[in-house]
Amino acid sequence: MKRVDDFRLNLGKQELVPIMTGGMGVDISTAELALVSARLGGIGHISDAMVPTVSDRRFKTGFVKEKQKKYKYNVANLNKSDIHFDLERLAEATKLHVGRTMEAKQGDGLIFINCMEKLTMNSPRDTLRVRITAAMDAGIDGITLSAGLHLGSLALVQDHPRFRDVKFGIIVSSLRALLLFLRKSARLNRLPDYIIVEGPLAGGHLGFGMDWVQYDLKTIVDEIHQYLKQENLDIPVIPAGGIFTGSDAVEFLEAGAAAVQVATRFTVTKECGLPDKIKQEYYKAEEEDIEVNLISPTGYPMRMLKKSPSIGAGIRPNCEAYGYLLDATGNCAYIEAYNRELEKHPDEEDISVKDKTCLCTHMRNFDCWTCGHYTYRLKDTSRKLPDGNYQLLNAEDVFKDYLYSTDHQIVLPSA
């Protein structure tokens, strides 16, 4: 019976363990977590979501305070279009986050950064270019383009000296999205080095509509394999979403996948950035405690625990400090929803906004508990302690469990 360790991912000249830990913003997939995957010969992702905020927490820098001070005059203004990121400071924060992570890297694996197009930051092209450029400058091994079609992203950095040496990958949820990206990248003679195919059971934002339940990862992966074969394109395909055991991973590897991307199992590890109390919420969740909703201002469906404090909260938009989802015209769907509720209830101190959430603030404060579909199975991966809580895991143990397990078995942590 095969184990994940019987397979290898060939990426260019490199041979890697075929396990990738996915990018989980905002700092849920910490540098510590990514570094474990790299040390063990796989690929670990950090995320470039809200990096100035992450840097402040990680290195005690003052990026957020500085921006907040600059735009203090605008706090009571319902129009946020004035608020812009200082591109030099954004580059500085990214270089710090990426650079320090790369300095700490040990072992033969790689560190990639997950780069979301939907972080439009009131200047989508400039901020994306700066984020990708700064990550390359700071020595990142690879960049996974996510949360968007990224039709113009590669062109933004085509003159960078590392453009052909950094690994570039794209996350897609359909063959159609892949075709659009390939057409653009072929024009630059820069095909992706890997393709992550994310199915409907993943955590975070979904590349499907609210009819996600009708889709199936295996079918999409097969379609993409067939297309690549027909076109003689040799690009590694990496499925993601709902791969919960080593045996799940082996099924994909035997069907021709080059590796798998996994995330949910790592949300209850010590290295994961979620506060310990929230890790317990993930452990204790039952299937009916999880929903896919449309409250993200990005417009994409998002999976989360129904108990997330962000659901129904009506906090004042905090774009002076954050503002990562302001579109090219300085708008965000939460601001519109908030202003509408404020107009309806002018005398109420605490308003509730049900249809959208202030994703920046809530992700920053770990109040939006986004999670994968199989979060309700996490309790089966650990031990219940006498106080009713579950034992947190070591990322290394979870990684190795994927690597060596057979028969869908999961090794519990030693007491």
Ligand X SMILES: Cc1cc2nc3c(=O)[nH]c(=O)nc-3n(C[C@H](O)[C@H](O)[C@H](O)COP(=O)(O)O)c2cc1C
- Residue 72 CB-density burial (10 A; 0-12 exposed, 13-18 middle, 19+ buried): exposed
Selection from 247, 171, 252 nearest residue 218 by Cα: 252
Give 18 or 23: the residue with its C-beta nearer to ligand X: 23
Q: How far apart are the C-alpha atoms of 174 and 199, rounded to whole Å? A: 9
352 and 398 Cβ atoms separated by less than 8 Å: no
Tell me if residue 260 falls in helix, strand or coil: strand
- The distance from CA 384 to its chain's CA centroid, rounded to whole angstroms, is 28
Nearer to ligand X, 16 or 260 (CB): 260
- Going by the DSSP 8-state scheme, the letter that residue 71 receives in this structure is T
Q: How far is CA 21 from the centre of its chain?
A: 10
The CA-based dihedral angle spanning residues 78, 368, 118, 172, taken in that order and rounded to the nearest 10 degrees: -160
Per CB under 6 A, residues contacting ligand X are: 22-25, 28, 47, 49, 114, 116, 146-147, 171, 198, 201-204, 240-243, 261-264, 267, 370-372, 374
d(CA 245, CA 199): 16
* Pick from 19, 14, 82: nearest CA to 252: 19
User: Residue 185 CB, nearest distance to ligand X (Å)?
Assistant: 18
Please report how close the Cβ of residue 144 comes to ligand X at its closest, in angstroms: 7
**Among residues 123 and 173, whose Cβ is nearest to ligand X?**
173
- The minimum distance between CB 228 and ligand X, in angstroms, equals 20
Amino acid at 92: E
Q: Across the strands, what pairs with 194? A: 169
What's the closest the beta carbon of residue 374 comes to ligand X, in angstroms?
A: 6
Q: Which is nearer to ligand X, 64 or 206 (CB)?
A: 206
323 burial (CB, 10 Å; 0-12 / 13-18 / 19+) is buried
Query: Which residue, 18 or 314, is less far from ligand X as judged by CB?
Result: 18
Comparing CB distances to ligand X, the nearer of 16 and 302 is: 302
With vertex at residue 115, the alpha carbon angle to CA 176 and CA 377, rounded to the nearest 5 degrees, is 80
Q: Least CB distance from residue 21 to ligand X, whole Å?
A: 8
Task: For tokens 């820098």, name the residue.
Answer: 61
Task: Indicate the residue among 185 and 245 with the shorter CB distance to ligand X.
Answer: 245
What span, in angstroms and rounded, lies between the C-alpha atoms of 167 and 187? 18
Q: Quote the least distance from Cβ 134 to ligand X, whole Å.
A: 18
- Cα–Cα distance between 77 and 40 in angstroms, integer? 50
The three-class DSSP label of residue 76 is coil
Q: Which is nearer to ligand X, 22 or 109 (CB)?
A: 22
- As measured in angstroms, the least distance from the Cβ of 82 to ligand X is 27
Rounded least distance, CB 308 to ligand X, Å: 11
Nearer to ligand X, 116 or 337 (CB): 116
Q: Element (H or E) spanning 318, and its range? A: none
Two tokens at 325? 């989802």
Q: Which is nearer to ligand X, 108 or 281 (CB)?
A: 281
The amino acid that residue 236 corresponds to is: P
User: How far apart are CB 162 and ligand X at their closest, in Å?
Assistant: 22
The minimum distance between CB 384 and ligand X, in angstroms, equals 22
